[in-house]
């Protein structure tokens, strides 16, 4: 590494459905400055202009017109058409990647799930472990995998998309679970009952009146019998998700992010439930809550400038 490289700053942009966060980091990924803009909901052109503005702001803050900037996005790019697909963004169905790179030549594009995993593997809750899986349990369910602090990409960046695997037949039958249509176009994906909205759906299915996941866990903590039954089924579904990750990738650590990772003690509940289903004579990975949490999105985006380009 040259002297110039070691002095380099890194820019990150986290594009979400409600805000676009830009942050400048030093070479050790310590945050120096940050700025948030509302995500334009109306037109594609407005969205591109807002990303342009964040990119320009980062370049000015860094006093470097050639600043390398990573951007983390939800959704994915079609392998066949190259078009972008994401809920809640006016870029869906557009050649978003081509338009971004044409306007912003120093931009590196990656999925938000991958930014989370990268940030938690490097200096985060998975720091020091060789094999780190970052799992986001929020409005959706999915993750990404790092080995030695680098993302594993695969043919089209699908490694870690566990939310769209089907719920196991034995679990579905044991709890008489409904088959819910998933946003991906199929039915009975794990995400439909494990992610935040999925847990709420599961509670309704089992007859629990609750306003959201927070209330479900508050009732659970008070030993409400119905809430305990709901969380019990949910933990079985989580264990299936975690076992799938273990059997396919065998990580040392699984780092949890997203809204459900904020539930008090959730990592211990998940470790315990996974331990009941692992193969005899094996142990489950260490399950930890994220160190940087939501801030891993923009931090990991900045790290994309040092890592693989995956989108």
Using CB under 5 A as the criterion, which residues of the chain lie in contact with Zn ion when the complex forms?
Answer: 164, 182, 184, 189
Residue number, 192 or 305, with CB nearest to Zn ion? 192
Tell me the longest C-alpha to C-alpha distance in the chain: 63
Which long-range CB contacts under 8 A does 30-33 form with residues at least 24 apart? 31/295, 31/299, 32/61, 33/61
User: From the CB of 185, what's the least distance to Zn ion, in Å?
Assistant: 7
User: From the CB of 35, what's the least distance to Zn ion, in Å?
Assistant: 34
Residue number, 126 or 163, with CB nearest to Zn ion? 163
CA atoms of 215 and 186, how far apart (whole Å): 29
Residue number, 164 or 175, with CB nearest to Zn ion? 164
109 neighbors 86 (Cβ within 8 angstroms):
no
Residue number, 184 or 218, with CB nearest to Zn ion? 184
How far is CA 163 from each of CA 43, 90, 153, 191, 242, rounded to the nearest angstrom?
30, 24, 17, 5, 11
116 neighbors 136 (Cβ within 8 angstroms):
yes
User: From the CB of 238, what's the least distance to Zn ion, in Å?
Assistant: 16
Burial 51-90 (b: 16+ CB within 10 A, else e): beebbebbbebbeeeebbbbbbbbbbbeeeeebbbbeebb
User: From the CB of 190, what's the least distance to Zn ion, in Å?
Assistant: 8
Handedness of CA 106, 96, 153, 275 (dihedral sign): positive
User: From the CB of 10, what's the least distance to Zn ion, in Å?
Assistant: 33
User: From the CB of 171, what's the least distance to Zn ion, in Å?
Assistant: 16
Residue number, 189 or 194, with CB nearest to Zn ion? 189
Q: Kindly state the DSSP code that residue 1 receives in the 8-state scheme.
A: -
Q: Kindly state the DSSP code that residue 104 receives in the 8-state scheme.
A: -
Residue number, 69 or 189, with CB nearest to Zn ion? 189
CA atoms of 181 and 197, how far apart (whole Å): 13
Residue 123 three-state SS: coil
Residue number, 172 or 184, with CB nearest to Zn ion? 184
């Amino acid at each position: 590494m040259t002297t110039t490289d070691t002095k380099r700053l890194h820019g990150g942009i986290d594009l979400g459905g409600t805000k676009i966060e830009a942050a400048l980091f030093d070479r050790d990924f310590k945050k120096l400055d940050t700025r948030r803009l509302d995500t334009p909901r109306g037109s594609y052109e407005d969205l591109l202009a807002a990303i342009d503005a964040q990119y320009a702001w980062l370049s000015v803050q860094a006093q470097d017109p050639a600043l390398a900037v990573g951007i983390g996005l939800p959704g994915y790019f079609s392998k066949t058409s190259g078009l972008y697909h994401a809920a809640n963004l006016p870029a869906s169905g557009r050649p978003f990647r081509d338009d971004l790179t044409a306007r912003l030549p120093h931009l590196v594009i990656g999925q938000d799930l991958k930014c989370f995993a990268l940030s938690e593997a490097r200096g985060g809750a998975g720091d020091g472990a060789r094999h780190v899986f970052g799992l986001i349990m929020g409005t959706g369910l999915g993750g990404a995998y790092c080995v030695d602090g680098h993302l594993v990409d695969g043919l089209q960046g699908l490694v870690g998309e566990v939310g769209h695997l089907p719920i196991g037949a034995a679990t579905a039958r044991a709890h008489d679970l409904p088959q819910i249509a998933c946003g991906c176009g199929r039915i009975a994906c794990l995400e439909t009952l494990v992610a935040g909205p999925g847990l709420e759906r599961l509670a309704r299915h089992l007859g629990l009146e609750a306003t959201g996941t927070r209330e479900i866990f508050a009732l659970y903590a008070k030993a409400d019998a119905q809430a305990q039954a709901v969380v019990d089924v949910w933990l079985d579904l989580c264990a299936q998700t975690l076992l799938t990750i273990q059997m396919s990738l065998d990580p040392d650590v699984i780092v949890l992010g997203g809204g459900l990772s904020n539930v008090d003690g959730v990592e211990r509940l998940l470790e315990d439930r996974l331990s009941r289903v692992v193969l005899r004579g094996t142990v489950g990975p260490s399950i930890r809550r994220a160190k940087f949490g939501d801030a891993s999105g923009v931090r990991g985006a900045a790290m994309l400038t040092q890592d693989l380009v995956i989108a």
